[in-house]
Every structure is written in C-alpha cells, then in structure tokens.
Amino acid sequence: MTTAEATKVKSLKVQRFQPSDNPTKNFLTEEKGVWAWMTTVDHKKIGIMYLVAVTFFFAIGGFLAVLLRTKLLSGSSISFIDANQYNQLFTLHGAIMVFFVLVPSIPAALGNFILPLQLGAKDVAFPKLNLGSFYIYVIGAIFTFIAIAANGLDTGWTFYTPYSSESGTSVLLVTFGVFILGFSSILTGTNFITTIHKLRAPGMTWGKMPLNVWALYATSIIQVLATPVLAITLVLLMMERVLGIGIFDSALGGDPVLFQHFFWFYSHPAVYIMIVPAFGIMSEVITTFSRKTIFGYWAIALSSLAIAFVGFLVWGHHMFTSGQSPIATTVFSFLTFLVGIPTGMKILNWLATLYKGSIKLDTPMLYALSFLFIFSIGGFTGITLGALSVDIHVHDTYYVVAHFHYVMMGGTLIALLAGLHYWWPKITGKMYNETLGKIGSALIFIGFNVTFLPQFVMGSQGMPRRYYNYIDQFAPFHIASTIGSYILSVGFLLILYYLLHSLWKGKRAPANPWGSRALEWQTTSPPPLHNFEHSPVVINEPYDYHRPMEEFQLGIALDQGEDSDHTEKEKV
Amino acid sequence: MNTSAHDHHISTVKQLFLVAMGLTFLTFLTVFMAKVIVLPEPFGIIVALTIALAKAFLVGAFFMNLYWDTKFHVLLLVGSFLFFFLMVGVTLLDTLYRDDAIPSF
Amino acid sequence: MGRLFDFMLPEAKSPTADSTDALFHFINEVSFILLLGITIAIIFFAIKYRRKSDDDVTPVIKHNNALEITWSVIPLILSLIVFAWGYSGYLNLKSVPDDAYEIKVNAFKWGWNFEYSNGAISPAELHVPAGRPIKLVMQSRDIIHSFFVPEYRIKQDVLPNRYTYVWFSANEPGESHIFCAEYCGTDHSGMLAKVIAHEPDDFDTWLTTSNTGASDDPVEHGKSLLTLNGCQSCHSVDGSKGIGPTLKGIWGHDVTLSNGSTVTVDENYIRESILDPQAKIVKGFELVPMTSFMGILDDKEIDSIIEYIKTLK
Amino acid sequence: MANHSSAQTTLHEHHFVDTDHQFDAAKLGMWVFIVNEILFFGGLFCAYIIFRAWYPDLFQQAAYQLNAVLGGINTLVLIASSFTVAMAIRSAQTDNQKGLRNHLLFTIILAFVFLIIKAFEYNHKFELGLFPGAYYNPAPEVLEHLNHPKANIFFSIYYMLTGVHAIHILIGIGLLISLYIRAGRGRFSSKFYNPVEIVGLYWHLVDLIWIFLFPLLYLIE
Ligand code: HEA
Ligand code: HEA
Ligand code: CUA
Ligand SMILES: [Cu+2]
C-alpha cells in the first residue's frame, strides 16, 4: 500500500515486477462510455480531458493568431476586419492562450496524468476535487464563450483600467469566466501540494523525487499564493463595473496604476506557473534521451523554488513607464535580474547532462533541444527588457511581443510538445510515426523563428504592439512574420494529423519504449486503473541510469507469506 | 515527513473557555485603547494591530490547534502572513514615493 | 558605429539615446556570445555523444562545484553590470535639466495636442527648438495613453489623474514619429503625431504666428475646437459614419436613442451629449462610449461648437 | 474535503493507507486552502493600506460613520461562535453526540446573529446614502463629519471588505448546516470527525479575518 510514512517502515517484502508489454486491462478499457468519463475520479482520465480541452482552446487561439497575422500582411485600414474586430482578436488570442491554454496545459493536463504515476501513488490526494477543478475550468470556459458571442472583449489580456471600466464589450462576463477559472487553478495547486506531501511511494524521499515533481511542486506553490490575488483583482474589476466602486477608476477618484500592481502581482508569477512545469519536462526528457544521471539534481530542484520566490517580487518590471515611483522601478529592475541566475543554472545543468551522454535524437529530444535554444533567446531578451533605460524604449513594442512568444510559445509550448511526444505512448498505448514527428518538429522550429525573429527587429525599431495599422517602414517585417505563422500552422496540422492517426493505426507501445528509469515507465502502457499492479518501492535516485533496470521494477509483494524465487529483502 | 497525526490533541473545555475569555478581554482592551485613551498616530494603529496579532495568535494556536499541530501548518500560516506583508511593502514602495502625488481635484 | 546589432535600432536623435543604445548593444552582444556557446555545445554534444548502441553506459557525473559556482557568479556579475548601466541611463531620462523648455501635452482618444506657454495650441504636431532640452508635462483626458518617440528613445504613460513628465532634446532639426504606446481602444494605432524640430529662430517665428485657437467668430472657433479636442477622430463633418454619429445635418433632426425613444437635436441635447454623453446614447453606437468633456469645454466653447454644428447642413 | 462521502463504508478511500493518513491529507489540503484565503483577503487589505497611507484624514473622518458598538458586538459574537465550533470538535472527539449537535446549532445561530447585525449596519448606511463609489450620495448630516473628495472610495473599500467577509460567513453557514444534518444522522464519532475539524478551521479563519477588520475599520480615531 502506498504510504507517506515510508521512513518508518524498516524492511519490506519487495519483489521485481516487470510490466507487461501487452496488458489485458488498462484504465482506458476498464471504465468505458461517456458517462464513466464524465464522472470519473481517475486522475489519468481527468488529465486526458484537460488535454483535449487545452488542445481545443489552443486551436482556437492559434486560429485567431493566424487571422490576426493575415490582417497584418498590410498596414492599411482597408481590410477584411476593422479596428474593433482586430482589438478583439488579439485580446481573445492572448486571453485564451494564457488563461485557457498555458496555465492549465502542463500542470493540469500532463501533470495530472504523470504526477501520481511518478510518485507511485494510486491517485491524487483529492480525486473528487480534481474532477471538480476540471468542471470549474469548463464552466469558466463556457462563460467566456458566452461573452464572446455576446459582445466580445477588447481590453487586451491585461484588462487595464480605466479602459476596462468603460469598454462597451463583455468585460464583466469574461472577468467572471477568468475568476471561475482561477479557482480551478487554485484547487489543482492545493491538490498537488497535498499529494506530493502525503502520497509518495515507500522509499520516495524528497531527494528521490523526479525533477518533474519538484517543478510541479514549485508551480503549485505559486498557484496557491498568486491566483487568489488575481481572483480579488477580478472581483474588484467586476464590482467596478457593477457598483462603480472606483478603486481603480480615475474618474471616480481611484488610481489606475494600482490596478496594474494588482494585475501583475498575479500575472508575473503566472508566467512562472507556465514555465516552471516546462522545466520539469525538460529534466525528464533530457535524462531519458541521454541515458545519463542529471547533472546538479539539487540545483535544478531548488532553483525552481528560488524562481518561484523571487518571481513574486519583480512584477513591477511591466510598469517601468507607467508612472510608478522611480524607487519602486529601480528595485523591481534589480530583482528582475536575480531571476535570470537560477534559470541560467538550469539551462547549463541540462547542457552538462548532455556531456558524455548517450544521446538519441528522437522527437521529444528534438523539441527539448530546440527549447534550450529558443528559451535562451527568450530569457536573454527578458534581460534586455529588465534593463531600465532599454525597457523605456522597447516597452509595449513588438520587442515585448517577440520576447513573450519566445518564452511562452518557444519555451512552454515546445516543452509541452516534448512532454506530449514523450508520454504519448504511456497515455495512449500507441506509438506515433517517428519520421513525421521529426518533420513536424523541424517545421515548428523553423516556422517559429521566422514568425518571431522579425518582431524583435521591428520592435526595437519602434513598432508599438496592439496596432491595427502600421507605417510602411515596418511592412517587410510584418510580412515575414505572417509567412512564418503559416509555416507554423502547417506544422501544427501535421502534428495533429499523425497523433490522431496513431490512435487508430499506431503500433502498440511497449511499457517502456525509451528505456527510462522513471516510475511511470515501470507500469504498463497505458497504466491500469489504479496505476500499479503492486505498490512500487523506490530505492535508487530517479536518474540512476548506471544501475540495471531490475532495481527500478520493484514493488511490494502482495502476499507476504509466500516466498518466491524473486523475492528479496530490501533495506529502505 | 513524519506527521504526528496519530495522537490528535483534544483540548479541554477549560482551555477553550480561557481562550475565549482572553479574546473577549482583548476585544474590550482594543476598544478601550482606541476610544478612551486616544493615542496619537501612529501609536494608535500600532497598539490596535498588536492586540489584533495577539488575538490572532490565540485563535491560531489554540482554536486552530496549531500549538499541537505539525510545524508545517504553522509555516503555512506564518508564511502567508509574511508573504502578504511583502506584497504590501513592495507596492507601498511605489505608492508612497511617487514624485508627483495625486493632484487634488 | 558599425556594431553587430545596429540594424535593430532606429536613428538616435537625442543625447540621452546614446546610453540606451550602448546598453542595448552590450546586452545583445553578450547574449549573442552566450547563445552561440550554448548552441555549439548542443550541436557538438548531440553529434559527439550520439547513441552508439542500446546498452551504452554513461558516467555518473552528479555535480561539479567549481563549474556551478562559475556559471552562477559570471551571470550575476553580468546582470549587475546591466542593472547599473540601465539605472544610470534611467536617471538621465528622469532628471530634467533646469533650463528645459516646458510644453503641455494633452492626450485623448485618439490624438494629441500640444500647448505652449503663449497659449498656442497645435494639434498632432509637436514643434520644438532643436538643441534645447524640452520638458513635456502630460495629462490625459480620458484613459491611459503613452507618449513614445522611438528616435528619442523615450516613452512615458500619460495618465488621467496625474501629470507625468518626460524630457528630451532634439540634436538636429528634423521630423520624428510619435506613437501612442498604451493600448487605448479602437483607434489606438491611429493615435499618431509628429515631433518637428526647428532651428531655434524658426521655432520662435512659428510660435508667434501659430493659431491660439481663440477666434471672434463663433463658427470658426467651434470648428477649431472640434479639431483641437479630437472630436473628429470619432465624428465626421461630411456625413460618413465613424465611431460616433456624423455631426453633419443632425441639427433640428430627430435621432433614435438606444432605448428606442427619439429626441430632437437642439442646444440642450448637444450640450448634454458633450457633458454627459452616457445620458442619451444614439442607437447603434453603444459599443464605444464617448468621453465626457465636463471640465474641459466651458459654456462659451460649447456654444461655439453648437454654432458650428448648426452650419453643417 | 472531497472525500468524506465514502466514509460510511470504509472510512477512507483506496488511495490512502488508513483513515489517519486521509485525515492528515485533508487537513493539509485545508491549510493550503487557508493560505489562499489569506492572500485573497490580502488583496483587499492591500488596497485598504494603500488608500489609508494616501489619505489618513479620510479614514479618520469616515470611521466616524461606522458604528463601533455594533462592530464590537459582532466581534464578540464571532469569538463566541469560534468557541462553540471548538467545543463541537471537542464533542466529536469525545463521542458526545448531543454536545456536537448543540454546539453546531449554537454556531449557526451566532453566525446568523452576526449577519443580522451586519444587515442593520448596512441598512443604516444606505439610509444615509453611504453607498460605494459611483452611487455615493451622502445625506447632509454626514457631511458635518465627513467632507472628503474621496469619501466614496472609503465606502467602496468598506463594503468590499465586509461584504466579502459576509459571503464567507454565508458559505460557512452552509457548511455548518450540512455538518449539523450529518451529525443528526450520527455520522461523526471519535473515529471520524475530520469534516468537523476542517469546517472548524475554516470558521476560525473567518473569525481571524474579522479580528483584523474590526480595529482597522471601526476603531480609527
Ligand atoms: C513563460 C513566460 C515568461 C517567462 C519565463 C519570462 C521570463 C522573463 N521575463 Fe518576461 N514576459 C512574459 C512572459 C515570460 N517572461 C510575458 C507574457 C510578458 C508580457 C506581458 C504583456 O505585457 O502582455 C513579459 C514581459 C516582460 C517584461 C516587461 C516588458 C515590458 O512590457 O516592457 C520584462 C521586463 O523586465 C520581462 C523580463 C523577463 C525576465 C528577466 C525573464 C527571466 O525569467 C528570463 C531568465 C532566463 C535567462 C536569462 C536565460 C537563461 C540564462 C542563462 C543561459 C545564463 C546566463 C544569464 C545571464 C548572463 C543573465 N518580461
Ligand atoms: C501561450 C501563449 C501564446 C501562443 C502559443 C501564441 C501563439 C501565437 N501568437 Fe500570440 N500572443 C499571446 C500569447 C500567445 N501567442 C499573448 C498573451 C499576446 C498578447 C495579447 C495582448 O496584447 O493582449 C499575444 C499577441 C500576439 C500578437 C500581437 C498582437 C498585437 O500586439 O497587435 C501577435 C502578432 O503577430 C501574435 C501572433 C501569434 C502567432 C502567429 C502565434 C502562433 O504561434 C500560433 C500557432 C498556432 C496555430 C497556427 C494553431 C495551430 C493548431 C491547429 C492548426 C490545429 C487545428 C485544429 C483543429 C481545427 C481542431 N500574438
Ligand atoms: Cu492612445 Cu493608444
Ligand atoms: Cu514579468
């Protein structure tokens, strides 16, 4: 049985259990039918439902982005969309991508599936709450879509007052939708923290947790500490529109810059909610595909916590030009640079892990390596933005747009793709077409850079963001960027195609196609309903690739009296 | 993680009652300090908040059982307070030091 | 100067731009070197250590303190340099020289106008003497805008409840773009203006001859008020439909309101539409609200506007 | 918190080792949730502190409009209710079914008393036209003591703080009633009183927040 009290157990009857490559039963075959899915408390099914929802929203968000880019092929106002529609496009694109895609993507979709498996638990601590979070997410989404259907939204994803207190669009409904969504995020965070504290398998000490778990732990802490502030900010914004409370509305005596503090107090940490889980995936993929112990386990584990903590104190770097006091501006700038150090440590630790490894360039690894390249660019340009005098020039230009696409799309989303390809066999029990996978990753890499590199240039040349029209000088950059976004679309469609294809036509996936040592690979693909046939026992560190696989396939023998040949006594 | 959940603390009626009395006393004290002995600012608010913190301590330690609970739960409560102060403190860095205070209108 | 990333920046036209540009180049060049290092390492490792057989054994390298300290300390030093540099540049941008020439900037949806000490107001064009520090005292009438001149490397949000300041100095006579950099609704991207730097003497001549907006003829006065206050970014005077209804031919006619009732356009209705636009909203124009001009236009000015609207048949 | 209902049969769910394990987890979950609640209110307190730092005189003038006696009584009511909740937990721990039901009932009654007093306070404010923000429209007698251009903002903050707190009381009443019903069916015992303890934690938190609200809003001289 799973227990957190593992340290108390002095010796256990353990036995090697080699997972079958051809399980007869798994969580997909056991509880079937729409109703079973909708009422399931199984973290794996909930994870898959999140994944489907996130993909759906990503397709919508991406479609809006492509529309928007198509408009920007020309800088004139004679176009198939007018200025108000354009404003709604980028607002909805940004809001959907941030609140509906990136925040839940890795933790709630992949994390839900993988976290209990990696801990050797049967489920998360509060399975019903987990299902509840999913429904809260769906309800939030429905609200938002009602809003879009009603009047749209044109405030930008940042909802700055006083524009948002007076805009004629459905600000109220959307904020309410996002408010509901916030609870989903808070509850998931609470659930994960409790799970990690209480449901680790026997022998799974903090020092033996996979780095992905550490990353999810840091993420959950940020979610619990930051999201409530977003919630109260949105409540104030809603009350602003319903009751005219005016705390943020200058027309009523409030202070609009205060809103920016409140908003960024959540939204800067939120960017770490998005990127830290991506770091978790990176650690898993890089070790697996270089068959090598991670370099600097504790540095990577604890730097996530450091990023989480310092990340809370830098929000004002979005407000350098806002009229915030020079003292605050200086302090925020200083702290901003400190975030770069732990992040840099991670990047370099992964590089060092590659050194003398046994590297196989399968699709997940290709994504992981492009992450290293692209995210570094995103991070370095973050440093540019943190530098006071330079940010005064590039703030609210396409330079910022390029920066955050490099970190969010090039960082998180590419890590998500890495994770998705990595765990696809575990989740679905099917292998995708490797060749198409490689082509897909190349298209994404090329398309991405073609789309967003030109934006750095035009941004520092002075092209402001959220512009429906632009002066001729910027046309070449915009055109290049739009072409890039078409390449990206082709790439994503290809990925969508071969992944779906694999569901029906794919080869059966073995239990451990990549030869990983992690716990989730020591059960069948897909896993059984309760994850493991036998509660796993952990004796090695998670990335001990120099030890034989047998030592990772241990479980507590159910019938302790019976003495089979394989039974060994292990000190834990 | 070794949590000492196996011996749940059960408070006696007397303990609980004393805590409630303590809280009542502090409530009267804080009203007395504010309305009868009116201290000049900032001392008034300092006294009021000190009393409030003392009350919070009583509620947290004895009603919420933190006195007997695992340290981690204490950390969560204290941590979230510290965190709140951090958030307020840094925001005040802006709002108190704007070179051009809000014009009156 | 011929630096690697020169192509990224527009021409620099203010003395404060130099520090900004130098820092920009510094960060870019350092980042470029680091990135090159990372990329080469990735490619090199991926080739050199590619998997040769399925039972490759890899060495156990768990950490290396010297290495780890190096790669924490060097970035730390680099970022401290960047911080200090950025800070000094920022101080420059914040400390307005004492002899600066002051101009008042009004921002509104969706335009700018610039008020000079002699009362002259110029819409959409900021005229300045070259070679002299200029201090802009900025305020917004409605929501937040942001004053951005790429060639001077300056940007400052313009707030509705406070004055904000920014200063620059034009090195040479010439023209530069002004953009609004804070999203402010429908015509955010049309909220453009120009800085025109003159030789000091030319500037003085321009100033004395320029229009102060005051005029004895109410119709003329009303017409110029419409330009100065940005009414025309929403209202046409030629009958075409914009963000707001056209002002042509409304005088004396009935308009349908969003609640279905109708009113006749007379003095009081126009007055109310200007001072309290939300009181009666014209049908079909519910989405983008008009800003109130309470406290901005006085009675006499409103009267002039009414006179002008009467002439728009 | 989500895992109570299956309690009747096995008392703990399959992914936990035993009931203690499950209790521990539920309690930790609640504490994490409390962190989140504190930051939720923290946002409002932050707005309070910032505006108070900007306009100290406003807060002094406006506090005059608040009824410290009613606020004080409400403080005592909440302290009493915290006490009864603690007693309810104790009763459950000692298998005292009757005590459990009675103390839960007392708590619910006290919670309603709190809300009724609050309603009187609000009503009085409304009569004086002390509405939040845009609807602020003070009666002449208010202006004698309170004449500040940002008075509307003070009342916005007042209503937000007390209103959000009152919503928490309402939620608490709902939770307490469901406990009361389950207690009536004899669901709780010294072996299974986890839900009582968890709701108790929540209720104490609501008390804790009021402990800060009271001096900050009502006792400014
Ligand atoms: C996933 C999301 C994500 C991530 C991870 C980051 C990471 C960082 N961001 Fe970014 N940011 C956004 C998402 C993100 N950001 C978004 C969405 C916005 C705009 C929002 C809006 O306005 O709409 C934004 C805007 C933004 C601004 C405001 C710009 C403006 O509006 O004017 C700033 C300014 O400081 C900034 C800085 C940084 C920094 C310093 C980091 C750092 O964490 C980066 C650290 C990484 C590295 C530094 C690279 C690796 C390091 C090494 C290899 C070691 C060597 C390092 C050194 C020598 C320093 N970001
Ligand atoms: C996760 C975050 C994320 C992601 C992934 C993206 C992805 C993209 N973004 Fe976006 N973007 C934001 C977050 C993100 N963006 C944010 C926060 C803003 C700021 C908004 C604001 O200012 O308020 C912004 C703003 C923004 C702008 C600036 C608008 C402006 O300021 O005027 C632009 C312009 O080029 C842009 C472009 C793109 C493009 C081309 C992509 C492409 O990468 C998209 C590629 C995706 C697809 C092409 C979809 C592919 C999927 C399919 C094809 C599957 C089809 C499936 C079915 C039909 C079932 N984005
Ligand atoms: Cu004004 Cu954008
Ligand atoms: Cu940020």
Higher-pLDDT residue of C289, A386: A386
Residue D116 has φ and ψ, to the nearest 5°, of -65, -45
Residue C206 has φ and ψ, to the nearest 5°, of -55, -45
pLDDT digits (tens, 9 = 90+) for D29-77: 999 999 999 999 999 999 999 988 888 888 888 888 888 888 899 999 9
Q: Is the pLDDT of residue A62 over 60?
A: yes
Higher-pLDDT residue of C87, D140: C87
What does the pLDDT read at residue A478? 94
pLDDT digits (tens, 9 = 90+) for D148-166: 778 888 888 999 999 999 9
Best CA proximity match to A13, nearest among A537, A462, A541, A410: A537
> Whose CA is closest to atom 35 on ligand 2?
A69
What does the pLDDT read at residue D12? 64
Peptide bond into A364 cis (omega under 30): no
> Whose CA is closest to atom 48 on ligand 2?
A489
Helix (H, G, I), strand (E, B) or coil at D72: helix
Q: What fold characterizes domain C218-310? A: Cytochrome Bc1 Complex; Chain D, domain 2 (1.10.760)
CA–CA min distance A183, chain C (Å)? 29
- Residue at A131: amino acid letter: L
- CA A88 to ligand 1 center in whole angstroms: 25
Among C88, C159, C164, select the one facing A256 at the smallest CB separation: C159
Mean pLDDT score across all residues of chain B? 80
**Contact status, residue A148 vs residue A64, Cβ threshold 8 Å:** no
Residue carrying structure tokens 């196989």: A360
Q: What is the mean pLDDT of residues A35-58?
A: 90
Among D31, D85, D90, select the one facing B10 at the smallest CB separation: D90
Per-range mean pLDDT, top range of A164-178, A554-568, C83-97, C215-229? C83-97
Q: Is the pLDDT of residue A7 over 50?
A: no
DSSP secondary structure string, C96-156? Answer: --TTPEEEEEEEETTEEEEE-TTS-EEESEEEEETTSEEEEEEEESSS-EEEEEGGGTEEE
The answer to whether the CB atoms of A384 and C27 lie below 8 A apart is yes
Please list the alpha-helical segments (H only) found in A311-407.
Answer: 326-354, 363-386, 388-394, 398-407
What does the pLDDT read at residue C215? 62
pLDDT digits (tens, 9 = 90+) for A197-208: 988 888 888 888
Q: Is the pLDDT of residue A420 over 70?
A: yes
What does the pLDDT read at residue C211? 64
Q: Is the pLDDT of residue B65 over 90?
A: no
What does the pLDDT read at residue B7? 54
Higher-pLDDT residue of D220, A113: A113
Helix (H, G, I), strand (E, B) or coil at B2: coil
Q: Is the pLDDT of residue A10 over 70?
A: no
Specify the DSSP class assigned to residue A255: -
Gap between the Cα atoms of A527 and D6, Å rounded: 25
What does the pLDDT read at residue C59? 82
* pLDDT-flagged residues of chain C (< 50): 1
Question: Tokens standing for D196?
Answer: 């009582």
What does the pLDDT read at residue D13? 67
Q: What is the CATH number of domain C101-209?
A: 2.60.40.420
- Ligand with the closest atom to the CA of C109: 3
- Ligand with the closest atom to the CA of A99: 2
Domain locations along chain C: 2-94, 101-209, 218-310
C129 - beta bridge partners? C198
DSSP secondary structure string, C59-108? Answer: ------HHHHHHHHHHHHHHHHHHHHHHHHHHHHHHS--TTPEEEEEEEE
pLDDT band, very low/low/confident/very high, at A439 (cuts 50, 70, 90): very high
Point out the least confidently predicted range of A197-206, A423-432, B70-79, D136-145.
D136-145
Please list the alpha-helical segments (H only) found in chain B.
Answer: 13-35, 43-58, 71-95
- Residue ranges with CB less than 5 Å from ion ligand 4: A 268
CA–CA min distance A240, chain D (Å)? 8
| Ligand 3 atom nearest to CA at C184 | 2
Gap between the Cα atoms of A117 and A532, Å rounded: 8
Residue carrying structure tokens 């919503």: D167
Show residues of chain A in contact with D14, CB under 8 Å: 122, 530
Higher-pLDDT residue of A26, A355: A355
The answer to whether the CB atoms of C181 and A395 lie below 8 A apart is yes
- Residue at D92: amino acid letter: A
pLDDT band, very low/low/confident/very high, at A558 (cuts 50, 70, 90): low
**Contact status, residue B33 vs residue B47, Cβ threshold 8 Å:** yes
D49 touches chain B (CB under 8 A): yes
Q: Is the pLDDT of residue D3 over 50?
A: no
CA A368 to chain centre: 14
pLDDT digits (tens, 9 = 90+) for D4-36: 333 334 556 666 767 777 888 888 899 999 999
**Contact status, residue A132 vs residue A50, Cβ threshold 8 Å:** no
What does the pLDDT read at residue A5? 40
Q: Could you tell me which chain B residue has the CA closest to the CA of A259?
A: B91
What does the pLDDT read at residue A11? 54
DSSP secondary structure string, D137-176? Answer: ---HHHHTT---TTHHHHHHHHHHHHHHHHHHHHHHHHHH
What does the pLDDT read at residue A557? 64
pLDDT band, very low/low/confident/very high, at A562 (cuts 50, 70, 90): very low
Q: Is the pLDDT of residue B5 over 70?
A: no
Among B13, B24, B51, select the one facing D76 at the smallest CB separation: B24
Gap between the Cα atoms of D73 and D79, Å rounded: 10
Higher-pLDDT residue of A493, A15: A493
The answer to whether the CB atoms of A198 and B87 lie below 8 A apart is no
What does the pLDDT read at residue D178? 93
Say if ligand 2 is within 6 A of residue A208 CB.
no
Ligand 3 cavity residues, CB under 6 Å:
C 110, 145, 180, 182-184, 188, 191
Question: Tokens standing for B89?
Answer: 């403190």
Sorted by sequence, the CB contacts under 8 Å of residue A279 that are 6+ apart come out as A211, A215, A300, A304, A346, A415
How big is the B-C interface in CB pairs under 8 Å? 11
Q: Is the pLDDT of residue B104 over 60?
A: no
- Residue at C310: amino acid letter: K
Burial-class residue B85 by CB neighbours within 10 Å (0-12, 13-18, 19+). exposed
ipTM at complex level: 0.88
Specify the DSSP class assigned to residue B60: I
- Residue at D126: amino acid letter: F
Q: What is the mean pLDDT of residues B26-30?
A: 89
Higher-pLDDT residue of A73, A11: A73
| Ligand 3 atom nearest to CA at C181 | 2
Point out the least confidently predicted range of A62-76, A239-253, A352-366, A376-390.
A239-253
What does the pLDDT read at residue D4? 37
CA–CA min distance B41, chain D (Å)? 9
pLDDT band, very low/low/confident/very high, at A477 (cuts 50, 70, 90): very high
Sorted by sequence, the CB contacts under 8 Å of residue C186 that are 6+ apart come out as A83, A84, A87, C109, C110, C243, C288
Percent of chain A, pLDDT > 70? 95
Specify the DSSP class assigned to residue C229: T
Mean pLDDT score across all residues of chain A? 87
> Whose CA is closest to atom 24 on ligand 2?
A94
Sorted by sequence, the CB contacts under 8 Å of residue A34 that are 6+ apart come out as none
What value, to the nearest 5°, has the Cα angle with vertex A259 and ends A401 and A325? 85
Q: Which helix (H) or strand (E) holds A66?
A: helix A43-71
Q: What fold characterizes domain C2-94? A: Helix Hairpins (1.10.287)
Gap between the Cα atoms of A400 and A111, Å rounded: 29
What does the pLDDT read at residue D151? 82
| Ligand 2 atom nearest to CA at A409 | 5
Contacts 24+ apart (CB under 8 A), A545-549: A545/A287, A545/A291, A545/A292, A545/A293, A545/A517, A545/C58, A546/A293, A546/C57, A546/C58, A546/C59, A546/C60, A547/A517, A549/A515, A549/A517
Q: Give the count of beta carbons closer than 10 Å to the beta carbon of residue A97.
A: 25
Mean pLDDT score across all residues of chain D? 85
Stated pTM of the model? 0.90
| Ligand 3 atom nearest to CA at C183 | 2
pLDDT band, very low/low/confident/very high, at A568 (cuts 50, 70, 90): very low
Question: Tokens standing for C24?
Answer: 């920009």
